[in-house]
Amino acid sequence: MYKFFKHSLLIGIIGIIFCIVVFVTNIFHNLVMPLIENTGLEGTSLSVVDSIISALPLLLIIPLVIYIIAGHIYVQRHLENAEAKASRKLLKENAAKQVVLDDKVDFLKHKYYSNCPNCGSVRVEDERECKFCGTSLVIK
């Protein structure tokens, strides 16, 4: 859907210019009216059809303007949604990184025994508790 509206401003402006040129030069009227006249329409119905065909290029400007406006709104919302999605992703990644950093800061705030005070086993790096008996290795 995004591709349909991506260039709506450019396409809409080109379409509007084309409709104005067709209206001013009366090309559409000159091509279509001989076909209508051969159908046998006469009187009021022919003049109504003639008026519609003359104004048709100008009437086509209305859907083009709607296309431009709808395209602008859609593209704007698409970009806002993409930006919000990227922001949520960054926030989630940063929150996960912050948890790891907070854990490291908390770990570095304390001093630790090199051997467990309860069972005497050697403390492995980054351990807070003894892996054998579960005793805290934090020096208080």
- Reported as a single tens digit per residue, the pLDDT across 27-40 is 888 888 888 888 87
Per-residue pLDDT, 52: 87
Per-residue pLDDT, 68: 94
Based on the fold, state whether residues 83 and 127 are members of the same structural domain: no
User: Which structural domain, as residue segments, surrounds residue 114?
Assistant: 110-140
Per-residue pLDDT, 40: 79
Per-residue pLDDT, 16: 93
Based on the fold, state whether residues 127 and 95 are members of the same structural domain: no
H or E element: which one contains 61? helix 61-108
Amino acid at 120: G
Based on the fold, state whether residues 35 and 87 are members of the same structural domain: yes
Q: Give how many domains the chain has, as a whole number.
A: 2
> 88 or 1: whose pLDDT is higher?
88
Based on the fold, state whether residues 85 and 122 are members of the same structural domain: no
Based on the fold, state whether residues 53 and 27 are members of the same structural domain: yes
- Reported as a single tens digit per residue, the pLDDT across 50-105 is 888 888 888 999 999 999 999 999 999 999 999 999 999 999 999 999 999 999 99
- In the chain, the percentage of residues whose pLDDT exceeds 90 is 58
Based on the fold, state whether residues 102 and 125 are members of the same structural domain: no
Given a cut of 80, is residue 1 above it in pLDDT? no
Distance (Å) of CA 125 to CA 28, 48, 115, 130: 85, 92, 11, 11
Given a cut of 80, is residue 13 above it in pLDDT? yes
